Every structure is written in structure tokens, then in C-alpha cells.
Amino acid sequence: MTLTLDRQPSARQAQERRVFSFSPGPAVLPLPVLREVQRDLLALPGAGGSVLEISHRSPAFDAILAEAEANLRELLAVPADYRVFFLQGGASLQFSMVPINLLRGQGLPATYILTGTWGGKAAMEARREGRVHVVWDDADGAYARVPSAAELDLPEASSYVHYTSNETIQGVQFRRPPEVGDSPLVCDASSEFLSRPVDVGKFGLLYACAQKNAGPAGLTVVVVSDEVLERCGDDLHSMLSYRRHAEKGSRLNTPNVFGVYVFLLMTRWLRDEVGGLEAASARAKAKTGLIYDALDADGGEFYVPHAEVASRSRMNVTFRLRTSELEPAFVAAAAERDLVALKGHRSVGGFRASLYNAMPMEGAERLRDFMLDFRATH
Ligand SMILES: *Cc1c(COP(=O)(O)O)cnc(C)c1O
């Protein structure tokens, strides 16, 4: 693929054919959001310049940041005693920031629940900062399910308990947050963020990168309770300190202005077009339901789902073919129907269809039809 810098924006560009991308992230964005970005890119109404050109201290960005936070608070029903930050460094930086702020110098170990690849990476960074207690690690079972409450033998007290609500690579998702007693619950919600309502009050800290469900890459949202903020270490590098970010309200340095702007448009779209997070959740269930039904239609003869039924993700559907030699043919035939980015993560193999917020119902229907046809013809 070659990228050209076109001096004469042409009709061709505007009508470029769009495929259905099942990419795990960066992922699809809603067309109305992309159109609005495109329409206002040269001059943001009232700002006199592009959103790419305005100062992060300008009134225009003040308004963008304030509305982005307000919309997020409304969609997620964030309690008043929680702070919201728009940071950079991806969810991966939070793997380090969480233990740097909440484990370093604390007497108690941190507890990690590992249900897939991302949780393992988070625990690896935490070990650099202090003692880490792993209460669940189903690597031997290839991370095909999440534990039940009875299977979690949590210590009486931890500096915090970390889990990954949706493991993007394995396609397993918690239906509800684990009960962890009085220890603060920390959640990597990256790949299910804003896809369903959550009871924020149950969490001490919740973080998510935006590029799966909620915007472009390069933006990370952190929601943290005042109580947990109080516990954070104070003598830290400023950029790694939640307290310093709290003092400066997402503007400790230059934030990802464009990312916050697109996130704002996403929150408006979720509220006004989708109808809020209950509706988003129903959509996600309906879309992934079509794919799971297609997988199950032959009882495992042709398609082999990865996740156990009760743990199946409503975001990332993982599966392989009983006859793995057919996998290249599956990818090629899907691409012919404009269904792309279906290859599974290299560590799991097979396929992964990510159906985030912005994937239209039509995309899920087309994939379902393709899967049924492919089985019928092979
Ligand atoms: C994508 C993803 C990450 C990594 O996000 P980056 O922004 O690339 O650092 C972490 N956790 C989960 C659950 C993810 O899906």
C-alpha cells in the first residue's frame, strides 16, 4: 500500500471504498465521527484553526476537554469523588504507573488475576515495584475462561487487586467485576471500555486505552477514586504520578489534543446515536451472538471456538478451524468479501473477530454469512 500526499483533494478520496475491519485495535471508528473530523479538520467551528493546530491551553481545548470529561461521567455514571485523566503512553504505561503509585513502598503485596496475555504483562511490570501475588493464572488452560468467585482465593488484604475485564487476545471477559473485599480493585478495561455500563463505585482505579472502543491510538483514560489517589506515593517522577496529574487536570504536559477531540465525538455518538451504554451492550451482544451462533452451528466439527461459553467475550470472538490447513483460504476468501483483519494474535493462532462499538450490525451479519458459506463450501 502506498500513501500519497495529494495536492488536489479529489472525489476519489472521499469515496474510497471502506472494508469491514475486525482489527483488535486501532479499530474502526463510526462513519459519522470520521465525517465530522473530516468536515471540521481545517477549521474547528469557533476556533479559527484546525484542532491539530490549537493550543492545549486555548479556550477551544478547554471546552473540548470539559465536554469530553462530562460526557464520560454521564455515560459511565462516574461518582463525584472520582477523578478522570486523559493520559498518553497507552494502557501499557498504566501497567507501570499503577504499581509505581500504589505498590512501591507499601507493606502489602499486590494481587493479580491473570486471565490472558495483557494481565500477564501488567503483573510483570508490577514485580519490578514490589511483591506480587497471583491468585489465578490459567495459562495451562490457554486462558479459555475466567474464574468463578469460588475459585478466587484472595488474600485478606492487598495494596490492590488487578484484573483485565476483557482479555483481547484470548477473547474471554468477566461478566461482572470480582468481589475483592476492602482492597482497591484496579481494572484494565481497555478492550471493553464504554461497551457496557459498569458500576464505577466498585473500582479504585479503572484504565483503558482508547483505540479499541473509544477513539484513536495515543489516548488513555484513567478513572480513579479520591480515596485511592490519597494512597498514591508522592515522591515520584511527575509524569508517572497520579497526584501530579490530578493537580493539573490532564494538562501536566501537552495532552493528545486530537485524541481527546475524537474521544469527545465518540462519546456524543455513543450517547446520541447508540443511546447510551445499555444500548451499546445490547448491540455488542447481538453482534457477537451472530458470530458465536455461526461457530456453534456445527457443534465444533468445522469451527473451534477458543473461549468457554460462560466466559465468551462480547468484543473479541476467538476461534480456529478444525482443519488448520484451510486457514489461509479462509483469510483470502474473507478479504474478497471486504472482511479484513481477522487473523488471530500470533500467540493464539486461528482467528479473532473484534466487534467493538463502531462495528456496524451489517459487518457482523456479513461475517456470519461468510462463515456459514465458507463451511458449506469446504
Ligand atoms: C490493547 C490492550 C492493551 C495495550 O494497549 P496500548 O495502548 O497498546 O498500550 C492493554 N490491555 C488490553 C486489555 C488491551 O486490549
pLDDT by residue (tens digit) across 4-14? Answer: 655 555 555 55
Q: Residue 144 pLDDT > 80, yes or no?
A: yes
- Give the integer Cα–Cα distance in Å for 375 and 321: 10
Query: 367, 319 in Cβ contact below 8 A?
Result: no
CB atoms within 10 A of CB 123: 21
- Give the integer Cα–Cα distance in Å for 317 and 339: 14
**Overall size of the chain counted in residues:** 378
Q: Which residues contact residue 282 at a Cβ distance below 8 angstroms, ignoring those fewer than 6 apart?
A: none
Which of 209, 211, 220, 313 has most ligand 1 atoms within 8 Å of its beta carbon, as the pocket-test mutant?
A: 209
Mean pLDDT in residue range 68-89? 98
Q: Residue 361 pLDDT > 60, yes or no?
A: yes
- The burial class, CB within 10 Å (0-12 / 13-18 / 19+), for 280 is buried
Instruction: Look up residue 58 and give its three cell numbers.
Output: 486555548
pLDDT tens by residue, 319-331: 999 999 999 999 9
Q: Which atom of ligand 1 is nearest to the CA of 90?
A: 7
Query: 133, 108 in Cβ contact below 8 A?
Result: no
Q: From atom 3 of ligand 1, which residue's Cα is the shortest distance away? A: 91
Instruction: Look up residue 352 and give its three cell numbers.
Output: 479473532
Residues with CB under 6 A from ligand 1: 25, 90-92, 118, 164, 168, 188, 190-191, 209, 212
- Give the integer Cα–Cα distance in Å for 260 and 113: 30
Mean pLDDT across the chain, nearest whole number?
A: 95
Q: Residue 287 pLDDT > 60, yes or no?
A: yes
pTM of the model: 0.96
Residue 282, sorted as left (phi over 0), alpha (psi -120 to 50) or beta, turns out to be alpha
